[in-house]
């Protein structure tokens, strides 16, 4: 403590104990004053709005007068400190609220932007979907036009007059009258179906009386030569003309029936089976019969509980002709040697028959092909349409006609 301060608090004639007590009291007040001044200086630097008189109190004289001030004057400065603290707290709260408000606005902006992007993607996706459907529809229309044009250009080759005057047809009629005691099974064969035909012949080779009742009408020279080489005992008639076949009882009604089918096929791109189904539902004669599923069934049977196996299993859903036999092989129905596709594998035939009888055809490992996927979708739509009361019954004769037109065949 300075000497001047000691003199202020200690009179000349006072006793020594009073002098010491006064000195200790003065030292305590001085220390308190210095700490208070330090706090005030910190607040001044933060707020920069404290009165100029407080700044001038940093001089020695101010410090001295401040030391000699009463405790009440020191306490009087506390409200200003509390006010400053409240202002700081309020400022911090405002900053926190502003930050939260900014984050909320940022989230809303992100959600709005995401909604805009999602809406645009939906619009683009819808546009691409209908654009693709339009392209496929154009492709289907071009194929339909080309097919109908081809039929019109070559229909004279299968006219009734040409068939009646053909010596080959006359020989076939004689063979039917003299060599067959039961109706034959007539197949039309071209070179593109040889693999499927050989697989069928291997499967039925050991069935009594089956091959004896087969007649193949070969439609090109390749099919004729290959069939003669590997199956010389199978009857065949060489007629280089594209066509189709059905089992028909010969009478005037059936003649009119198929004449109408031929006329419609010449002008409409629709399957012959669709025309036949339509006429079976709308014509009084002839009366159409349908083969029960016990005798012939399609690939759907393999995806059931596999009870009551049919005698004939048809894979009629593959749009790619080259893949039909490969699809049969995946189910275990490939009956030729792997190194020579013209030689039968009787072991494969026996194994497949056993699996059919036991209902153990494996289908879980076989991927769904594009053709089967199309058929599943179309049949699901048809079932829903036919289930509509009254309207479903009215649409039934016409669905096969339009179904082939709208089918997206790729």
CA distance 27 to 69: 13
In a domain, 42, yes or no: yes
In a domain, 327, yes or no: no
In a domain, 37, yes or no: yes
**How many domains does one find in the chain?**
1
- Note whether 238 and 168 are within 8 A (CB): yes
Q: Which residues partner with 238 through β-bridges?
A: 218
pLDDT tens per residue, range 334-350 = 899 888 788 899 999 99
In a domain, 247, yes or no: no
DSSP track, 229-256: HH-TTSEEEE------------SHHHHH
pLDDT tens per residue, range 77-96 = 444 445 555 555 566 666 66
- For residue 350, what pLDDT is reported? 92
In a domain, 159, yes or no: no
C-alpha to C-alpha distances, 226 to 189, 193, 229, 352, 379, nearest whole angstrom = 11, 12, 5, 26, 38
- For residue 58, what pLDDT is reported? 43
In a domain, 45, yes or no: yes
- Residue 113 CB burial class (10 angstroms; 0-12, 13-18, ≥19): exposed
Of 225, 227, 281, the residue nearest 257 (C-alpha): 281
The pTM for the full model equals 0.54
CA distance 389 to 21: 115
Could you tell me the residue range of the domain that residue 60 belongs to?
3-76
89's enclosing H/E stretch is helix 78-154
In a domain, 68, yes or no: yes
In a domain, 283, yes or no: no
CA distance 194 to 109: 66
How would you write the pLDDT of the chain (410 residues) with one tens digit per residue? Answer: 444 444 454 454 445 555 445 555 555 555 444 444 555 555 555 555 444 444 444 444 443 333 344 444 443 444 444 555 555 556 666 666 667 666 777 777 888 888 889 999 999 999 999 998 888 878 878 887 887 888 788 878 777 788 788 888 888 888 888 888 888 898 988 888 898 899 999 999 988 889 999 999 898 889 999 999 999 999 988 887 644 445 667 788 888 988 898 888 878 777 788 888 889 888 988 888 888 888 888 888 888 888 888 888 877 766 555 567 777 888 888 899 888 788 899 999 999 999 998 888 888 766 777 777 777 887 888 888 888 998 888 888 887 777 665 555 54
Of 168, 157, 255, 259, the residue nearest 216 (C-alpha): 168
Alpha helices in 155-193 (DSSP H): 160-164, 167-179
Residue 113 CA to its chain's centroid (Å): 27
What do you get for the CA distance between the two ends of the chain, in Å? 106
User: Residue 286: is the preceding peptide bond cis (ω within 30°)?
Assistant: yes
pLDDT tens per residue, range 10-28 = 454 445 555 445 555 555 5
- Note whether 266 and 155 are within 8 A (CB): yes
């Amino acid at each position: 403590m300075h000497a001047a301060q000691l003199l202020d608090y200690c009179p000349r004639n006072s006793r020594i104990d009073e002098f010491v007590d006064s000195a200790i009291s003065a030292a305590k007040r001085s220390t308190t004053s210095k700490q208070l001044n330090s706090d005030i200086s910190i607040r001044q630097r933060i707020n920069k709005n404290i009165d100029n008189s407080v700044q001038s109190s940093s001089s020695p004289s101010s410090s001295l007068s401040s030391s000699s001030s009463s405790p009440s004057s020191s306490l009087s400065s506390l409200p200003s400190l509390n006010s400053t603290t409240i202002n700081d707290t309020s400022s911090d709260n405002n900053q926190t609220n502003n930050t939260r408000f900014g984050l909320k606005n940022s989230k809303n902006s992100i959600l709005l932007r995401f909604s805009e992007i999602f809406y645009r993607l939906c619009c683009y996706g819808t546009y691409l979907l209908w654009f693709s459907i339009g392209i496929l529809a154009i492709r289907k229309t071009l194929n339909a036009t080309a097919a109908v044009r081809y039929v019109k250009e070559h229909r004279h080759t299968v006219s009734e007059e040409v068939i009646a005057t053909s010596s080959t047809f006359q020989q076939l009629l004689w063979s039917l009258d003299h060599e067959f005691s039961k109706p034959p099974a007539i197949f039309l064969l071209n070179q593109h179906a040889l693999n499927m035909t050989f697989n069928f012949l291997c499967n039925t080779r050991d069935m009594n009386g089956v091959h004896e009742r087969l007649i193949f009408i070969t439609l090109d020279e390749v099919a004729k030569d290959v069939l003669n080489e590997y199956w010389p005992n199978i009857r065949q008639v060489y007629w280089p003309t594209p066509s189709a076949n059905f089992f028909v009882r010969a009478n005037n009604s059936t003649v009119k029936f198929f004449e109408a089918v031929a006329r419609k096929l010449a002008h409409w791109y629709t399957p012959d089976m669709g025309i036949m189904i339509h006429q079976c539902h709308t014509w009084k004669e002839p009366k159409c019969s349908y083969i029960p599923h016990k005798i012939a069934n399609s690939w759907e049977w393999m995806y059931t509980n596999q009870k009551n196996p049919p005698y004939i299993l048809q894979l009629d859903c593959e749009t790619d002709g080259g893949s039909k036999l490969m699809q049969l092989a995946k189910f275990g129905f490939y009956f030729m040697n792997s190194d020579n596709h013209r030689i039968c594998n009787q072991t494969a035939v026996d194994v497949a028959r056993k699996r059919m009888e036991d209902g153990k055809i494996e289908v879980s490992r076989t991927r769904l092909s594009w053709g089967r996927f199309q058929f599943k979708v179309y049949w699901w739509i048809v079932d829903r349409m036919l289930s509509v009361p009254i309207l479903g019954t009215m649409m039934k004769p016409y669905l096969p006609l339009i179904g082939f037109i709208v089918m997206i065949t790729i």
